[in-house]
Amino acid sequence: MNEPQTGTSPEPLDVIAVGSHPDDVEVACGGTLAKLAAAGHRVGIVDLTDGEPTPYSDGPEARMREADAAAEVLGAVARIQLDLPNRRLFDCFEHRIELAKVFRRYRPRIVIGFGDKTPMASPDHFQTMLITDAAVFYSRLTKWDDYFDGLPVHKIQRQLYFRLAIEPMTLAGNPFHILVDIGETLEQKIASMQCYHSQFAHKHAMDERIRAAAVMTGSIAGIAAAEAFAAARPFAAKDLISAVGL
């Protein structure tokens, strides 16, 4: 499913979710991506690194097979791996440009990515947030064509932040939170995570922890299960009835 990074632009994606490693996106917003795909939206996933090495994996090729299988479970139409350095990922100009080129090539309306640090977990996550923020901005900058392989500028309409399912329920300091009902796709999210045998098979009750986190998040709004997002900037709804879920 990994697509080439050169040549003519493919059919646009509606949504791109950006993670540091294969499995980040599934844990954070797999239920939402599955729901979008089921509704006919074109969903893409970008992994900045291959996530390797890890203790229980057979290497990058095996991890990529797991990632492709997980994307297929969710209904994603593209999975792009940028091959930036795992464990040594830093926000820098070159990494910003590489991700911005993906945005220019696939022209998403919405980008979803990390919204905070993940203490005692990979520092790559916060670096990915910084890289994603910058790439959203770089994607729309004019008079800078030399850096972008001739790809046209593209303005992303909405940027949302996710948090990993096992992290705190909301993003501190951001009042613009949105809950997405994933009652119908929660098991699809769990199934996508189960594709990562190397990452989760040895972790006791991981499925139950992810399921419980979704149920707890959903309970805030009186629904069976949800994923939480925060808007990078507030946006307005044109229809109040639809905006409040009625």
* 188 belongs to a structural domain: yes
Contact predicate 218/224, CB 8 Å = yes
* 10 belongs to a structural domain: no
User: What is the tens place of the pLDDT at every residue in 94-131?
Assistant: 999 999 999 999 999 999 999 999 999 999 999 999 99
Q: How far apart are CA 58 and CA 61, in angstroms?
A: 8
* 1 belongs to a structural domain: no
* 152 belongs to a structural domain: yes
**Mean of pLDDT over the chain:** 94
Domain span at residue 71?
A: 15-243
User: What is the tens place of the pLDDT at every residue in 187-240?
Assistant: 999 999 999 999 999 988 999 999 999 999 999 999 999 999 999 999 998 999
* 2 belongs to a structural domain: no
Tally of domains in the chain: 1
* 234 belongs to a structural domain: yes
* 125 belongs to a structural domain: yes
Query: For position 227, which CATH number holds?
Result: 3.40.50.10320
Q: How far apart are CA 222 and CA 219, in angstroms?
A: 5
Q: Is 122 exposed, middle or buried (0-12, 13-18, 19+ CB in 10 A)?
A: middle
* 216 belongs to a structural domain: yes
Q: What angle do CA 210, 41, 161 make, to 5 degrees?
A: 45
